[in-house]
Chain A
Amino acid sequence: AQRVTQPEKLLSVFKGAPVELKCNYSYSGSPELFWYVQYSRQRLQLLLRHISRESIKGFTADLNKGETSFHLKKPFAQEEDSAMYYCALSAGNNRKLIWGLGTSLAVNP
């Protein structure tokens, strides 16, 4: 079955520290993976997608097919990075989005 796992419900780091939000997926085909973010009192929005191989707001994510992971990383966390982060997988013939339960990132001053 297709599944997305975000093992950490809450991640707390200090400003300037590196941050890694973990995402593991289960899918036998060729996946398309995304990170969506929801800042306080804002709407859910796309942060980045693996196919773009881009860096957004200093965040990067690399698809590791061997480990079936798509971890989100940032070398130096900022307070404005505090938000809820969701990993999502577009998979299957119908390509519907399958979501992880999310990780709440708190960046402390």
Chain B
Amino acid sequence: KAGVTQTPRYLIKTRGQQVTLSCSPISGHRSVSWYQQTPGQGLQFLFEYFSETQRNKGNFPGRFSGRQFSNSRSEMNVSTLELGDSALYLCASSLFQGSYNEQFFGPGTRLTVL
């Protein structure tokens, strides 16, 4: 069974631009969660989507948004990029909604904001 895939793997943007990251979950998994990972803050939960609906949201500004499609693929968008948005963005899928279910992680997208 193919694992979680994320595209692109690396991205360089400048301040003020916007970016869209993509995540394809494991086949059959309906929940997709997004995390931001930085050296100082570690892993921080962004949001979770299940059946095309956002079910859970972390403490991030409205510049961070996402969506999920009918095939469970998910996209995350960050508008008006700031230097502090530079991070590794991880996507994880699970069979069911809720973080107590085993999360299967993708390789991440490394975003650098200049």
Which residues of B lie under 8 Å from residue A86 when comparing CB positions? 42-43
User: In terms of DSSP, what is the predominant structure of the interface of chain B?
Assistant: strand
Q: List CB contacts (< 8 Å) of B66-114 with chain A.
A: 90, 92, 98-100, 102-107
* Chain A proximity of B41: nearest CB distance (Å): 8
A101 within 8 A of B: yes
* Number of residues on chain A facing chain B (CB within 8 A): 20
* Chain A proximity of B81: nearest CB distance (Å): 24
A68 within 8 A of B: no
A94 to B3, CA, bound (A): 26
* Number of residues on chain B facing chain A (CB within 8 A): 22
Q: Which of A46, A95, A99 contacts B44 (CB 8 A)?
A: A99
A36 to B92, CA, bound (A): 13
* Chain B proximity of A96: nearest CB distance (Å): 5
B20 within 8 A of A: no
Q: List 13 A-B contacts (CB under 8 A).
A: A43-B3, A44-B90, A46-B103, A49-B102, A86-B42, A90-B98, A90-B100, A94-B56, A94-B57, A95-B100, A96-B56, A96-B58, A99-B43
Chain B interface residues toward A at CB < 8 A: 3-4, 33, 42-45, 48, 56-58, 90, 92, 98-100, 102-107
Q: What 10 pairs across the A-B complex have the smallest Cβ distances? A: A99-B43, A97-B99, A44-B105, A101-B42, A90-B99, A90-B100, A96-B45, A43-B105, A46-B102, A94-B56
